[in-house]
Structure 1
Amino acid sequence: MSTQSAEPYVFAPEVPSLAVEGGGRFPVRRVYCVGRNYAEHAREMGHDPAREPPFFFMKPADSLLPAGSVFPYPPGSSDVQHEIELVAAIGRGGA
Structure 2
Amino acid sequence: MRPHGENGKGGAGEQAQTLALMALGWTLSDGARADRLLALTGLDSQALRDGLDNGAVLGAVLGFLADHEPDLIVCAAELGVDPADLIAARRALGA
Structure with the largest fraction of strand: 1
TM range (shorter): under 0.3
Q: Which has the higher contact order (CA 8 A, sep 6+)?
A: 2
What TM-score comes out, normalization by structure 1 length?
A: 0.25
Structure with the largest fraction of helix: 2
What TM-score comes out, normalization by structure 2 length?
A: 0.25
Pair member with larger Rg: 1
